Amino acid sequence: MEGKNSQGKLLIGHDDCNTSQNESLEEIVAERLNRRDLMKLSAGFIGTAFFGSFMAGCNQDDSTTTTSAAAATALLSFTPVSKNLNDALTVPTGYTAKVLYRVGDPIKLGTADYVNDGTDADFDSRSGDCHDGMKYFGLKADNSGYDTTNSTNGLMCINHEYINQNYLHTVAEVAAINNAARVPSQVDKEIAAHGVAVIKVSNTGAGFALDKTSGYNRRITAATPMHLQGVAAGSAYMITPYSTTGTDTRGTVNNCANGYTPWGTYLTCEENWNGYFKCDTRTGKEAVAFSRYGLKTTSRYGWESVYTQWLATITGADATADYRNVPNTYGYVVEIDPFHPTSTPVKHTAMGRFAHEGCWPAKATVGKPVVFYMGDDSKGEYIYKFVSTQNWDAADATGGLTAGAKYLDSGTLYVAKFNANGSGNWLKLDISETAIADYTIYDFADAADVAIHSRIAADAMGATRMDRPEWGGVHPTTGEVYMTLTNNSDRGKSGKYGLDPANPRYYTDTYDTTTTNKGNVNGHIIRWKETGGEPSATTFTWDIYLFGAQSVVDAGGDDAYYQANINVSGLTADNDFSSPDGLWFSEVSKGLMWIQTDDGAYTDTTNCMLLAALPGSVSDGATTNIISLAVPTHGTTDETVTTYVGAKPTTTKLKRFLVGPVECEITGITETPDGKAIFVNVQHPGEDGTTTALTSHWPDFGTARPRSATIVITKNDGGVVGI
């Protein structure tokens, strides 16, 4: 995310715009499913007897199980990194981290080196700001196209989520910023520092470096032309002066996490896009929609004072005369073909419109639909999945945007409901559903209306409100799906929604001995197993793989209560963490999962981090009662929620691999096809500093302003990272 922090500082985005009544599964918590408990006991016993719990419940054939079990014993051989507050990047002994690509670094020949004092321009040909999700695509040695196996020559697609305004401009310019009348050249710089970069990187023996000569190098920004495709494209909701046919728009912003497709394209996801528009007050359905999507009468950066594209107000005769509809053209999964530098990115409306964190594919199977999992990262929002209408054809494996249109422009969008009995349902978001067609709060007109207002359709269907869904990932061998729920200060809060089995904690944490945080302070990671192992299934079973927590209770706390009800996963000094955000499975070290944090609650003790994990499988743990004290939504009385907790990880299955510099977030991760290099992003180091009082100087040190950057991590012995 961005602009984090639970200590009273400005929190950008993640508003609770969900006033639906879909919470409160507490009344059905008592419905325990004994049959499932019996099945779980059986699976857990078999798993423990043979392989610890690593492969329990996994439906693989014997050869795969043996391979994975053997690999499990070899993995996580590094010594855990200690928590720390250093303005440095710490990796385990035996590993090297090298800075590859910093804010402002030129990506083209002829662009001047970055001075980093606020005077630099030309962000169209430099690294943007605030690196986030990313993906390495192997490139043929002759640079002629996609090579899924090339580990020394590749194209990196990297999101530039937002900007640290303080560090983009000079001291005097920052002091003079007035959102009512922005300086055009400064707005141009900010617009160009957003979006996505495609850069060629190669390793000729001395480690990876950016190749500025490559014709693939490209910046996509908040001004780049985009096609709108799918069910809502060409509808009346999309008409603007820029595209009177409603088929195009300009720009992508707040590109948070990412995804990729089986056909060689990159997916970048628009998260807190709502804050970029200055809107007016609407009536009727539009009032409901604007409220639900957090559209406001003030904008974050005041870009509308320079460009009317960001001014979503009704001033003209119709939608071709003003930008009243422009917010409807944001909030999508955007597809980019890195191998065709002049191609136009595509916003896929059939995948829904919300604060898209990322978009993660299930393994594609020939003859079956392609499936993507997605989270809506705001407080109390939902988890979604998209199932294509077309079945996967391996002939499309290098199909680019043509394949994208085939698989992503027609399909079914579902939203998740997590039941108290450990089962789950994927609820179809379709105008044919009675609950949507007859919804009294918002009168859906057609399929385009449902796609553009997927949050409202999900309300109508009774989806489960989650603790801010962030990254997801599909386990390469079990096919089970993991998703981080980073934290939620609204959970259990007075006037908000209560606890439920999938979001079962409310507690108080002390920060820096002075302030307190309440709600689900440290977050958790939920996972589910699709029925029959079919990604397109409409039912699933779930449990909670891992709960974030500090390993030791705050001074003065009740340790016995804390360890049983807050540190539910039994974290230790070697692996305790808070606010899981990035989550990603290695395709090389099958079963190795990386967890990244974006925290504001444990940062009195440690900077944000990257952990390596070997998760087991759904139902490898135990049914657990969690007691929350004095919960406001429970009449301020104590509340017990019964949930399903995965096997406690132990330090052999969960270890801290990296700690980042001061005030950063660790987000974005990808690997070379041989797994011998991983790329990790360090976002917004020193984000709480000012131009005159810097709190971090990473990565250039001395007196330099801090810069977000991509780093490359390799093992000194040349081996696969993490094992």
In the bound state with ligand FEO, the residue whose beta carbon lies nearer, of 262 and 275, is 275
For ligand FEO, the binding residues in 238-257 under the rule CB under 6 A are 256
Q: Closest CB to ligand FEO among 26 and 470?
A: 470
Q: Which does 271 bind (CB under 5 to 8 A by kind): Ca ion, ligand FEO, none?
A: ligand FEO
Q: What are phi and psi of 265, to 5 degrees?
A: -120, 165
Closest CA to 591 of 474, 681, 685, 693: 474
Q: Interacting stretch for Ca ion, rule CB under 5 A, among 61-69, 283-291, 415-423, 578-586?
A: 578-586
Instruction: Please report whether residue 1 would count as binding ligand FEO according to CB under 6 A.
Output: yes
Residue 280, contacted partner among Ca ion, ligand FEO, none, CB below 5-8 A by kind: none
Quote the tokens at residue 517.
């945080």
Give least dist CB 116 to Ca ion, A.
25
Q: 509 is in the binding site of which of Ca ion, ligand FEO, none (Cβ under 5 to 8 A by kind)?
A: Ca ion
The CB-of-470 to ligand FEO minimum distance in angstroms stands at 5
Q: Give φ, ψ of 572 to 5 degrees.
A: -120, 180
Q: Residue from 509, 530, 543, 574 that binds Ca ion (CB under 5 A)?
A: 509
Q: Tell whether residue 129 is a contact of ligand FEO (CB under 6 A).
A: no
| Residue 51 β-bridge partners | 53
> In the stretch 338-377, what mask flags binding to ligand FEO with x, by CB under 6 A?
-------------------x-------------------x
d(CA 583, CA 595): 5
Which of 2, 190, 574, 688 is in the footprint of ligand FEO by CB under 6 A? 2
Q: Which residues have CB under 8 Å from 269's CB, separation 6+?
A: 133, 255, 256, 257, 258, 259, 332, 333, 334, 356, 357, 358, 359, 374
Q: Let me know how long the chain is.
A: 723
Helix (H, G, I), strand (E, B) or coil at 375: strand
CB–CB of 480/529 below 8 Å?
yes
The 421-460 site mask, x for binding ligand FEO (CB under 6 A), equals: ----------------------------------------
Out of ligand FEO, Ca ion, none, what residue 459 binds, judged by CB under 5 to 8 A for its kind, is none
* Residue 449 phi, psi dihedral angles, 5° rounding: -60, -40
Question: From the CB of 376, what's the least distance to ligand FEO, in Å?
Answer: 10
Rounded Cα gap, residues 230 and 369, in angstroms: 17
Q: Which stretch, 136-144, 254-262, 304-312, 561-569, contacts Ca ion (CB under 5 A)?
A: 254-262
Contact pattern for ligand FEO over residues 462 through 481, marking x by CB under 6 A = --------x-----------
CA atoms of 425 and 462, how far apart (whole Å): 11
Task: Assess 599 for contact with ligand FEO (CB under 6 A).
Answer: no
Nearest to 615 by CA among 567, 543, 679, 532: 543
* Closest residue to ligand FEO in the complex (CB): 1
Give the end-to-end CA distance of the chain in Å, rounded to a whole number. 29
- In whole angstroms, give the CA distance from residue 457 to residue 668: 30
- How far apart (Å, rounded) are the C-alpha atoms in residues 664 and 384? 28
Q: Please, which residue, 256 or 295, has the CB nearer to ligand FEO?
A: 256
1 scored as a contact of Ca ion (CB under 5 A): yes
Q: Does the protein bind Ca ion through residue 120 (CB under 5 A)? A: no
Closest to ligand FEO by CB, 2 vs 190, is 2
683 Rama class: left (phi>0) / alpha (psi -120 to 50) / beta: beta
Using the rule CB under 6 A, which residue among 161, 190, 337, 449 binds ligand FEO? Answer: 161
Size of residue set near ligand FEO by CB under 6 A: 9
Q: What is the largest CA-CA distance in the chain?
A: 73
* Residue-wise burial string across 678-699, b where 16 or more C-beta atoms lie within 10 A, e elsewhere: bbbbbbbbbbbbebeebebbbb
Question: Do residues 424 and 539 make contact, with C-beta atoms less than 8 angstroms apart?
Answer: yes
- Of 470 and 509, nearer to ligand FEO (C-beta) is 470
- When asked if residue 381 is in the footprint of ligand FEO (CB under 6 A), the reply is no
Q: Which residues of this protein are in contact with Ca ion, per CB under 5 A?
A: 1, 256, 470, 509-510, 554, 581
Q: Which residues bind ligand FEO (CB under 6 A)?
A: 1-2, 161, 256, 271, 357, 377, 470, 581
